Amino acid sequence: MGQSPSTAAAPAADLSRRRISQLQPINDSDYTLRLSDDSLAVIFNSLSTTDRKRCSLVCRRWCRVDGERRHRLSLHAQPELLDFAPSLFNRFDSVTKLALRCDRKTASINDDALVLISLRCQNLTRLKLRGCRDVTEVGMAGVGNNCKTLKKLSCASCMFGTKGIVAVIDRCVTLEDLTVKRLRGAHDGVVRAAAASSLKSLCLKELVNGQSFAPLVIGSKKLRSLKVIGCLGDWDETLVRVGCFNAGLVEVHLEKIQVSDVGLVGVSNCLGLETLHVVKTAECSNVGLATVAERCRLLKKVHIDGWRMNRIGDDGLMAIAKHCPNLQELVLIGVYPTFSSLAAIASNCRNLERLALCGIGTVGDAEIECIADRCVALKKLCIKGCPVSNAGIGALASGCPNLVKVKVKKCRKITGRGVEWVRGQRVSLMFNYDDSEVEALDGSVSDGVGGGQDNTVEFQPTINQTTEAVAVAEAEAEAPSSNNNNRLTMIRPRLGFLANKNLVPSVFRRWSNSDNVSSSSCS
């Protein structure tokens, strides 16, 4: 009576919420203001391309820092890029690595756009052009005049021919790395040797007249790496002259070209050679390989794809085992070694760390057991399309003490039970097992054991309401991949030079009589 109505007791305070509220600022302060631009750029560099793009839209400062610190840019090289280039490169004014890509269904940038870009990116060190069909030697000359620090140039599916290449390397005395792929108009002249004062790496791929670059190959006195892949013409004379005038090569990659033991003998004059790829060269035999092994005793990496021609076997591999004790990586595809040659390699090449055996019908349990017993330094082993059974794989449970990764594919005699037993014995071993049916495989080792991948950061398109962001979105639209495998293009050079040597009937007889196991690249 006379008392006021009772009220509900106040709930106990939530201590966790109280602590959290104490951490929150009184006003909406931006803690990133305490970070310097360099620290903020370090954070941006650790983000993915998509996240970094989103961060650049948060505020003006983040957009500025992202633009000033971005050194790589990949643009869709359509004609509209000419209109957006000024505002685009006002924002990204520190670009040193630029990729311009265009697909086959759309028009590409022209000389005016390329010259404008080169004027705005005078600090470029790397330039990659893909499918820029409307660019001529005039635009390439503009690149050479404006980008004096250019060190790496890569061109694919362009139409400016050898004149465009000469226009750049005549003007860029710092150019060290040149890659030319599917260049149209390569028959319109030759690349002079005088333009190769600083060239260290040269890759020629799928050129109709690759001999246009022969003077460049021969005259590049500082050349360290040479790759010739799928180029027509006889390369024996060029390689002989390279061996006579340029003995400083450390890497030679010959794939799907017309070259014989004569060319390999020329390569053997490069006494400092460390990496040798002989892939699908039908006329190379044990004689040429043995000569290289005897003279180039510093070899560390050897990739051989015999193309099932049975011209490379025990004799060549025995020479490698005898004269190349520093061998670290060996890839054998479509060749026919026996126990004796593999045992010699396992015994003499004590530093062998990576071994791949693909599509080899003569490698069985005894050979794998020998490898497991003698290859103490082996870290990675790939067995593909070989008649190896569970017994051979079981030897890996106790052999090769440094082994960390095993890859087994298309070996019919190996079962999941045998693989699981090995895994149980060596828990730390990474075992990649594929029990799919054996089928025709491509024996190319271009991306073989230890092959590197291109990790260029692509600048993805952004949709924004501001004019500048629209320009960026238009210019940075991602171009579809231009690395489609054109099998017809590769079959033509293969059968072209074989037909001239009257080898086509014998090739097809070997293919028809061979077993169903074919070779493939291994990683």
Asked if residue 477 lies in contact with residue 76, where contact means CB atoms within 8 angstroms, the answer is yes
**Residue 211 has which token pair?**
């001999």
Asked if residue 389 lies in contact with residue 414, where contact means CB atoms within 8 angstroms, the answer is yes
Residue 424 pairs in a beta bridge with: none
Q: Give alpha helix (H) positions in 92-158.
A: 111-120, 137-146
Angle subtended at Cα 142 by Cα 141 and Cα 145, rounded to the nearest 5 degrees: 85
Tell me how far CA of residue 154 lies from CA of 125, 165, 288, 417, in angstroms: 12, 10, 31, 48
Cα(11)–Cα(258) distance, integer angstroms: 88
**Residue 418 has which token pair?**
């045998």
Cα(75)–Cα(91) distance, integer angstroms: 14
**Residue 321 has which token pair?**
């085992």
Q: Give alpha helix (H) positions in 269-415.
A: 286-295, 314-323, 339-348, 365-374, 390-394
Tell me how far CA of residue 250 lies from CA of 383, 384, 386, 447, in angstroms: 28, 29, 32, 18
Residue 323 region by backbone torsions, left for phi larger than 0, else alpha for psi between -120 and 50, else beta = alpha
Residue 346 pairs in a beta bridge with: none
Q: Which helix (DSSP H) or strand (DSSP E) does residue 17 occupy?
A: helix 15-23
Cα(404)–Cα(393) distance, integer angstroms: 14
Asked if residue 422 lies in contact with residue 393, where contact means CB atoms within 8 angstroms, the answer is yes
pTM to 2 decimals?
0.77
Cα(498)–Cα(76) distance, integer angstroms: 40
Alpha carbon of residue 449 to chain centroid: 11
Positions of the chain with pLDDT lower than 50, given as ranges: 1-15, 17, 20-21, 23, 26, 438-521, 523
> Within a 13 Å sphere around the CA of 139, how many CA atoms are in the beta-carbon half?
20
Tell me how far CA of residue 335 lies from CA of 240, 322, 341, 366, 502, in angstroms: 25, 19, 12, 17, 22
Tell me the pairing of strands 72-76 and 97-101.
parallel
Cα(520)–Cα(515) distance, integer angstroms: 15
pLDDT on residue 187: 59
- CA 155, 159, 162, 164 dihedral sign is negative
Cα(440)–Cα(445) distance, integer angstroms: 15
Q: Environment class of residue 31 by beta-carbon count within 10 Å: exposed (0-12), middle (13-18) or buried (19+)? A: exposed
Phi, psi of 256 (to 5 degrees): 55, 45
pLDDT on residue 437: 57
* Helices (runs of H) and strands (runs of E) counted in the chain: 20, 15
Phi, psi of 89 (to 5 degrees): -85, -10
Cα(353)–Cα(401) distance, integer angstroms: 11
Cα(315)–Cα(319) distance, integer angstroms: 6
**Residue 518 has which token pair?**
């074919």
